[in-house]
Structure 1
């Protein structure tokens, strides 16, 4: 099974609800830029981009300005992605098909499929303390909005054979 097929299989439980708090896209073209990958998720016709659409980027170049490299360990990224898969952004309510430990196991396997040399980008910036402690629940963060929702968080991972985009979003 290819890394792309394995990642799709692992993340399949997240893709069932189009009105969900999280969109996930798995790809097989690591030559595409993080901005191109995120653009495809945000402008997918089935995605409700939110009511404040004038705030979000409209071009790949604008998405590129919104995304910054994230330099963290595999364990730190695993904790962050598990948080995105199990909590919604506005009130931090539990959601999704998994508990935190199950999500950590799944996203750890996803990261393993992206290795070696996976690189990460995001439109959010958390403190070093949040990354060190793996606690993102009530930590405030800086962000460059990429949707018309009140809150959004995009994470793009590009490995040697596969790509993955997580887009979490919420309104208050």
Structure 2
């Protein structure tokens, strides 16, 4: 092999190695950043779940276990409510429009959701009744912060300049 061909092969090898090293380092950096961002985007925390963050660990576990039990118990009702809402939106696009039927299905969906919500809220009240006053107050504060009035989910009017 001539010295010129050897020099060109060496330069090509160095360039290829630098490209491969850059790709590996870039992949590691991007992977690390994605892993850091993943918990916030993949597992958003539910408001009722975070309401117990200020409780001692044993009461926090009991509260969250109670919520899990409620979630299992109300799953069918929530699925029925979603199905009723989906049917209502489907009926909305039908010709001729049967407005009373659409309104009735939406009303049924809301009623089911409110029944579920009322049951969960009643269970939270039952749970809180057994807590010491300071912990009950901490849970109440967490619920106020996480709810639509105190939390970020509240609908607020636009700011006036």
Assess same fold via TM > 0.5: no
TM-score class normalised by the smaller sequence:
under 0.3
Larger radius of gyration: 2
Greater RCO (CA < 8 Å, at least 6 residues apart) = 1
More helix by share: 2
- TM, length-normalised to structure 1: 0.26
